[in-house]
Structure formats: C-alpha cells, structure tokens
Amino acid sequence: MNEENGDHGEAEASETPQSAGEAAVRDARRWLSRRSVLIAGASGLAVGGLALGTATGKLPFSQALQRTLGVTSSNPTTQLGSTRVERVYSQARGRMVDLVFILPSKTPPKGLPMSLMLHGLHGNARSAAPTGTLKQLSSDVARKAVPAFGFVAVDGGDNYWHEVHPGDDPMAMLLEEVPQWLRARGFAGDTGQPFACTGVSMGGFGALVYTRRRVERRQPPAAVATLAPALILSWQEMAKRHIFTGLNDWTALDPLRHIDETKSVANGIWCGTEDSFITGARRYIEAAHPAVAHTAHGKHGDPFNRTVVPSVISFLGKHVPRKD
C-alpha cells in the first residue's frame, strides 16, 4: 500500500474529497483480498501438513510455524508418537524377550505412567497393540484429551500368562521384572509399577489374572482394560488348548470365578457381538458391572479391536496417576 500511495501521491492530492474516499475504499479492498489469499494459503498448508503428519507421524514444518498455525502443544515436538523395541533377558521366562514401548512422543517426560499391553494367543510384544494405538495415544496426549502415558508390551508366550512349563513363568515376569525394566528406563515413577493393564484376547485373560495378583499384593493397579478377553465357560472347551494341567488348575485362575477379588479396580471391557468370546464377556459384564461395557457388531480380531482404541485410551486416561 505504501508503494501504491507513493506512485499516485500527486494525483491523490488534487482529488476531490469524494474521489479520495473512493480511492481509500479501493486500497482497503486490495489489502483485504491479499490478506485473504495469505490466510487461505496458510490454512491449506496447515491442513495438508496435518494430514501428512497423521499419515507419517511427523509434522512437516518448523516449531515456529506450528505455533503460528496453532497445532503445537505446550511441549512442542515434531513427532507424533514413538515406538521403541529392546531385547532383554527374562530370568522368569529363561529366555530373551522383546520389550516394546509405545510412547506419546519421542521425548516423553521422566516417570511417564505406563500401562501393560498383553498380547493374545500366538502373538508377541510387537503385535500386541491394536492397529491405531500409537496414533490415537499421541494425538490424544498432544491435544490434552488425556494425560501423558504409554504402553509397554513384552513377549509372554502362549500359556495364558501363567507358568505351564517349569522355568517359564510370564506372570512372574510381569510382576517382578517389568517394574525393574521400567524403573531403569525412567518410566512409571519411582516404583516402576504400571498404573494399568490392557490385554487382548488371551492377554485379556492375563490382564485380569495380573490385576488379581496385584490386589493380593496390596499394590492394585488403577485400571484394567480388556478387549475380547478369552473367558471360556467350560473346561471341555478350555482343555482343547492344552494350557492347564487340569480342571483345578484352570478354575484357580479363571477370572469369571474370581470377580469379587478385582471389583475394587476400575474395569473396562470391549467385545464384538460375533466374537466367539462374547458369551463369556457378557457373563463377566453381568457379574462385574464394569465402568465401561461395550459390545458392538464385530468378529474376533483387529478389525473390531481397532475401532475401540479411542474408547480404551479415553478410559485409561481417566485413571492416569496425578503428579504430586
């Protein structure tokens, strides 16, 4: 505008008051038009950049521009979540295992609260979390929908998270070794104890057993979340899995027979109505009255599990321990 005024300064000096007013209106319209183009361009950049960030896990512009566009958090980062994988030796299992961390950012705060994530039958630590978990967690934390927390997964074998073969005790690994591993890496506060346990299928069975063991130790977790937990109603059906030594071994662990022991822990359960475990899930819901009891159309597996990830993370977020 200053250049335009300079180019036409003499002509404007001789204009009538009415023509001068018209010129001012024209100049204002030009200025507004250019500002609109700039704003539209910035908005397009923001939308495109955020779309790319959602797909790749990285925001493709500087922190300064993030602040300008209003897409940064109080702890600015160009990363939307981080997954770390380590190999550690488990004394309880007598073997090397994968230790997988699902974190809301590449630089999580010291003492970050953690939830266990227990995999299902024939699964492992790397495949434990449903599709979309990292994306949902990092997004929810970044926009402060939930407090910052993470997940930790570990290889537990196919033994329903208990000792079937002497010298291979995945439950002891969860109770004794995982807190040490977390504390050594600066996670889960001073004690290294997970604040919650999340489990899928067989991992859901394990999560409920783990919760009961923590309660027995007078160290209850704040919450337990299970997705299609493998709650089987008959010994005839469970015996086909060749996991338990007999009826007594199974009933000693079966979460459906020990509901009262874990009622003090906030509980959420999600299961598809076409899932083979839906009958056990409904039996559990009827008896335990969990805080979240979600059933919807879907079969057993990731296609259903991924749809409930937002609800699971929201539920866990309500039980993240507050900083002192």
pLDDT in 10s for each residue of the chain, 324 residues: 333 333 333 333 333 444 445 555 465 455 444 444 444 444 444 444 444 444 444 444 444 444 443 344 444 444 589 999 999 999 999 999 999 999 999 999 999 999 999 999 999 999 999 999 999 999 999 999 999 999 999 999 999 999 999 999 999 999 999 999 999 999 999 999 999 999 999 999 999 999 999 999 999 999 999 999 999 999 999 999 889 988 999 999 999 999 999 999 999 999 999 999 999 999 999 999 999 999 999 999 999 999 999 999 999 999 999 875
Q: Is residue 189 part of a domain?
A: yes
Q: Are residues 145 and 242 in the same domain?
A: yes
Q: Are residues 148 and 281 in the same domain?
A: yes
Q: Are residues 93 and 47 in the same domain?
A: no
Query: Which of 42, 69, 96 is the last residue before a domain boundary?
Result: 69
Q: Is residue 75 part of a domain?
A: no
Whether the CB-CB separation of 140 and 313 falls below 8 Å is answered with yes
Query: Residue 139 is encoded by which pair of tokens?
Result: 């997004």
Q: Are residues 41 and 163 in the same domain?
A: no
CA distance 252 to 213: 12
Q: Are residues 276 and 212 in the same domain?
A: yes
Query: Which of 69, 93, 113 is the last residue before a domain boundary?
Result: 69
Q: Is residue 74 part of a domain?
A: no
Q: Is residue 289 part of a domain?
A: yes
Q: Is residue 324 part of a domain?
A: no
Q: Are residues 44 and 132 in the same domain?
A: no
- CB-neighbour burial class of residue 154 (10 A; exposed 0-12, middle 13-18, buried 19+): buried
Whether the CB-CB separation of 97 and 133 falls below 8 Å is answered with no
Q: Please tell me the predicted confidence (pLDDT) of residue 15.
A: 37
CA 157 to chain centre: 23
Q: Are residues 91 and 183 in the same domain?
A: yes
Our count of domains for the chain comes to 2
Q: Is residue 174 part of a domain?
A: yes
The CATH number of the domain holding residue 158 is: 3.40.50.1820
Q: Which domain holds residue 121?
A: 82-317
Q: Are residues 225 and 248 in the same domain?
A: yes
How does strand 150-154 pair with strand 95-103?
antiparallel
CA distance 125 to 103: 14
Whether the CB-CB separation of 53 and 59 falls below 8 Å is answered with yes
Q: Are residues 56 and 107 in the same domain?
A: no
Q: Are residues 104 and 49 in the same domain?
A: no
Q: Are residues 35 and 166 in the same domain?
A: no
Please report, as a single letter, which amino acid is at residue 186.
G
Query: Residue 257 is encoded by which pair of tokens?
Result: 């027979």
Query: Which of 14, 38, 69 is the last residue before a domain boundary?
Result: 69
- Nearest partner of 60 among 48, 44, 43, 69, judged by Cα: 48
CA distance 288 to 279: 14
Q: Is residue 158 part of a domain?
A: yes
- Nearest partner of 270 among 314, 239, 235, 238, judged by Cα: 314
Facing residues of 295 across strands?
271
Q: Is residue 322 part of a domain?
A: no
Query: Residue 298 is encoded by which pair of tokens?
Result: 């879907």
CA distance 239 to 58: 47
- DSSP element (H, E) containing 215: helix 202-216
CA distance 49 to 52: 5
Q: Are residues 45 and 190 in the same domain?
A: no
Query: Residue 15 is encoded by which pair of tokens?
Result: 């204009």
